[in-house]
Structures are given as C-alpha cells and as structure tokens.
Amino acid sequence: MTQIEAKASVMEIDLYVGGKSSLEGVSNVTKLSSNENPFGPSPDAQEAVKRCVHELHRYPSSDHSALRNALAEIHGLKADNIICGAGSDEVITFLCQAYGGEGTEVLYTEHGFAMYRICALAAGSTPVVVKERDRVVDVDAILAGCTDKTKLVFIANPANPTGTMIGMAEIERLAAGIPDQALLVLDGAYAEYVEGYDGGAKLVEMRNNVVMTRTFSKIYGLGGLRIGWGYAPRAVIDVLNRVRGPFNVSNTALAAAEAAVRDTAYTEKCRADNARLRAWLSEALAEHGVPSDTSTANFVLARFADAEEAKACDAYLQKQGLLVRQVAGYGLPNCLRITVGDEPGCRQVAHAVGQFKAGAR
Ligand code: PMP
C-alpha cells in the first residue's frame, strides 16, 4: 500500500458529503441536508457573478486584496491578517498541510466536523478525538487530551452537527491552556447566525495561537462557488500563503463574496429569518415527540428514540422527497440533522416527521 492509499479519502468519508445529493425518480426534492441558505445569495452577489462572464478568460487576483479589504472594512479587521481559500475547507487543509505531518497530533471532539479528520490524515498527522459533554465541546477534556505532539486543536463554534456552542470565556480558557506548540482553530462556518458573535476575531488579535476560519457557503449562500477565509496572526498567514496556490480562488467567487459581504442588510434578514424558522421547526418537531438541543446555527439536530427509528424516519422522509442528514458517522446514530429551510420547507419536514411518528411508513 502506498502512503497515499493509507490516508482517508473524501469519497470514503461519506459522512461529509452525505452520500446523496438528489433523489432519483422523485421530483420536487426539498434539500435540507447540507446547511445551505434556502434563500440563496444576495441579489448583489448574483449580479456580480453575471458581470464576471466578461472576465472568464482572465486569471483571478492572486492576493485577493479587494475581498480582504471588504472583509476588513465590514468586520473591523486587519486585511493583512486575512487569507482566502476555496471554501473554508481549503483553509483547514492549508492549516493541516502547514502545521501537521508525521509525528504530530490534530485534536478535535467526538462529534467534530468531518474535515478535521480528513485533512489531518491527508497531512500524515494522527487524529486525536476527545469526548464532549452532552453534545457540547468540553474544554477540560480537550486540555487533558493535548500532548507535546499536539499541533492543531479544531473546534467549530457553533458546532456541526450538534448546533451547540461554547461561550467566549471558555474559548479564552482553551486558548490559554493549550500547549505552546499548538494552534487553536475556531471554525466559524456558522458564526453569522449568532447575533453579536465575532467568531473569535478579537481573540485572534489578542493572542498569537488562535486562528479563525469562516465561509461564504452558509449564510451568504455561495456554497457552489467555493469561497471561505481565515483570520490569523501574521506569522501564521505567512506560513499558510506558502502552501496556497497563487490562483486558488476564482474571480467569480471573489466578486460574489465581496458583493455578499457588503450587502449587510441581506445577511441580517437571513439571520433573522433563520432564527424565526429554526424556533418554529424545533418546536414543531418537539410537539411530534422529537426533541432537539437549542441550536445556534441554521440546522437542528433532531433526536429519535434510537438509531433504528432515526433511520426509518430518514427513509420515510426520502419517500416524501425530503433530504435530511443521517449523522451516525458523527457518533449520533439516533439523530437526524435537518437544515432550517424556507417556510414551506420547514412545514413540509415537520409535517412528514409528524406523520412518521403517527405510524406512517
Ligand atoms: N466547517 C464546518 C463546521 C462546516 O459545517 C462546513 C461545511 N459543512 C465547513 C467548515 C466547510 O465549509 P466550506 O468549505 O463550504 O467553506
């Protein structure tokens, strides 16, 4: 077996892509399986994409300065401390390529996002998984799991697929407690859904061992264009730029992302709509005997009696043209992760879960 064959493959690790993105033979599929924004991107971002048609023969900017400046302006950050990637997945990949490798450990928690394991293995690092406490990241368990080989500690806040998050005091305790050679990566893919939360940006500025990653795939509705970014101390940015390809992000993605981040009214509307529909969905599911933890993101983790019931409900939903996500691969076999859709989507999935709980198969 070659070294590469020994590593994880995105294709093998079905839990990330979820296996099915369409349902053959079923028309009108409602996709609530990938935490996408059901309202799509800002109209300004769509216009920006159309304008790019005239630039398709041109290589994109290699320093991404227009997008970095827009992010800095809108979020009150330093443009020189930003790096852009083809999705935040690529920033996570850069971190593992640059700081991981043989003899190093990459730590994440038991229900942590799949990409941490994929990237750790691809870089030759040893993945180290620590327990959570009732589906919430446990700072003490992480600190106890660190060794002199730990190079990266990943937590998503809010977390996927649990939807839970920890407070800033806990994050600060984590940043202060990890070993000197390690970096804490705060994955803020869902940060925009939390009112008043900066994803850890200020902490990045205060410390030399914290990195924040963000994406345009969630609230900004640009998953198909593959664009994300990271915020880190200058020394880390310099290292990441050494593993980044010069044209890693397309001109279309850069233009759409800049327009999207500048359309703050649209983002605010998506945040408010998501909060309202999320509350409605979790209450409707609870009324049907399917509880969920309080979610801070754009999905709910619906809990069933056992793994068998969760699987049977998923199969029933598929028959109704509803795609949600089984999360057994994340150590949550009795749960289904359901993205907060638009109002018809939320009503449809709540109704179908109700029918299933009432005995429909
Ligand atoms: N982090 C978390 C926690 C996620 O859920 C996702 C997407 N599912 C990502 C990162 C990656 O997002 P992208 O590569 O599309 O930016």
Q: What is the mean pLDDT of residues 52-74?
A: 97
Q: Is the CB of 298 under 6 A from ligand 1?
A: no
C-alpha 201, offset from chain centre: 17
pTM over 0.90: yes
> What per-residue confidence (pLDDT) applies to 10?
63
Q: What is the mean pLDDT of residues 281-305?
A: 98
- In 3D space, the residue among 132, 118, 56, 55 whose CA is nearest the CA of residue 87 turns out to be 118
Residue where one domain finishes, among candidates 229, 263, 297: 263
Place of tokens 């979790």: 282
Q: Is the CB of 10 under 6 A from ligand 1?
A: no
The CATH number of whichever domain residue 26 belongs to comes to 3.90.1150.10
> What per-residue confidence (pLDDT) applies to 85?
98
Q: How many CA atoms lie within 13 A of 166 on its CB side?
A: 19
234/337 same-domain check: no
Host H or E run for residue 339? strand 335-339
At 106, list the tokens.
Answer: 């990459």
pLDDT above 60: residue 215: yes
- In 3D space, the residue among 220, 224, 251 whose CA is nearest the CA of residue 63 turns out to be 251
117 in helix, strand or coil? helix
Percent of the chain with pLDDT over 70: 93
pLDDT above 80: residue 131: yes
pLDDT above 90: residue 6: no
Asked if residue 24 is part of any domain, the answer here is yes
**pLDDT tens for each residue of 15-58:** 566 655 555 666 689 999 999 999 999 999 999 999 999 999 99
Q: Is the CB of 33 under 6 A from ligand 1?
A: no
Other Cβ atoms less than 10 A from the Cβ of 297: the count is 30
User: Residue of the nearest CA to atom 12 in ligand 1?
Assistant: 88
**pLDDT tens for each residue of 320-335:** 999 999 999 999 999 9
Q: What is the mean pLDDT of residues 291-304?
A: 97
pLDDT above 90: residue 14: no
C-alpha 20, offset from chain centre: 18
32/74 same-domain check: no
168/283 same-domain check: no
pLDDT above 90: residue 2: no
58/187 same-domain check: yes
87/141 same-domain check: yes
DSSP sequence for 91-111: HHHHHHHHH--TT-EEEEETT
pLDDT band at 9 (very low <50, low <70, confident <90, very high): low
Asked if residue 26 is part of any domain, the answer here is yes
Q: Give the count of domains, the chain.
A: 2
Atom of ligand 1 nearest to the CA of 90: 14
> What per-residue confidence (pLDDT) applies to 11?
63
Instruction: For a ligand 1 pocket test, name from 15, 88, 219, 339 the mutation site with the most ligand atoms within 8 angstroms of its C-beta.
Output: 88
Cα(167) to ligand 1 centroid in Å equals 20
Asked if residue 4 is part of any domain, the answer here is no
91/24 same-domain check: no
Residue where one domain finishes, among candidates 263, 294, 319: 263
Higher pLDDT, 150 or 6: 150
Atom of ligand 1 nearest to the CA of 228: 16
Asked if residue 147 is part of any domain, the answer here is yes
pLDDT above 90: residue 360: yes
Q: What is the mean pLDDT of residues 225-236?
A: 98
Residue where one domain finishes, among candidates 263, 282, 297: 263
32/63 same-domain check: no
User: Residue of the nearest CA to atom 13 in ligand 1?
Assistant: 87
Atom of ligand 1 nearest to the CA of 223: 15
Name all contacts of 120-128 with Cβ < 8 Å and 24+ positions apart: 120/96, 120/152, 121/7, 121/8, 122/7, 122/8, 122/93, 122/96, 122/97, 123/96, 123/97, 124/3, 124/7, 124/100, 125/96, 125/100, 125/101, 125/151, 125/152
139/237 same-domain check: yes
Asked if residue 3 is part of any domain, the answer here is no
Cα(264) to ligand 1 centroid in Å equals 21
Taking the C-alpha atoms of residue 204 and residue 202, their distance in angstroms, rounded to an integer, is 5
Model-level ipTM above the cut of 0.90: yes
Atom of ligand 1 nearest to the CA of 88: 16
272/257 same-domain check: no
The CATH number of whichever domain residue 147 belongs to comes to 3.40.640.10
151/226 same-domain check: yes
216/286 same-domain check: no
124/172 same-domain check: yes
**Across the chain, what does the average pLDDT equal?**
95
C-alpha 350, offset from chain centre: 24
Percent of the chain with pLDDT over 90: 92
**pLDDT tens for each residue of 306-317:** 999 999 999 999
**pLDDT tens for each residue of 110-124:** 999 999 999 999 999
Q: Is the CB of 93 under 6 A from ligand 1?
A: no
Asked if residue 288 is part of any domain, the answer here is yes
pLDDT above 80: residue 12: no
Q: Is the CB of 158 under 6 A from ligand 1?
A: no
Atom of ligand 1 nearest to the CA of 159: 3
Asked if residue 153 is part of any domain, the answer here is yes
Atom of ligand 1 nearest to the CA of 113: 3
The domain of 86 spans: 43-263
Asked if residue 158 is part of any domain, the answer here is yes
pLDDT above 60: residue 77: yes
Other Cβ atoms less than 10 A from the Cβ of 84: the count is 25
pLDDT band at 76 (very low <50, low <70, confident <90, very high): very high
> What per-residue confidence (pLDDT) applies to 28?
83
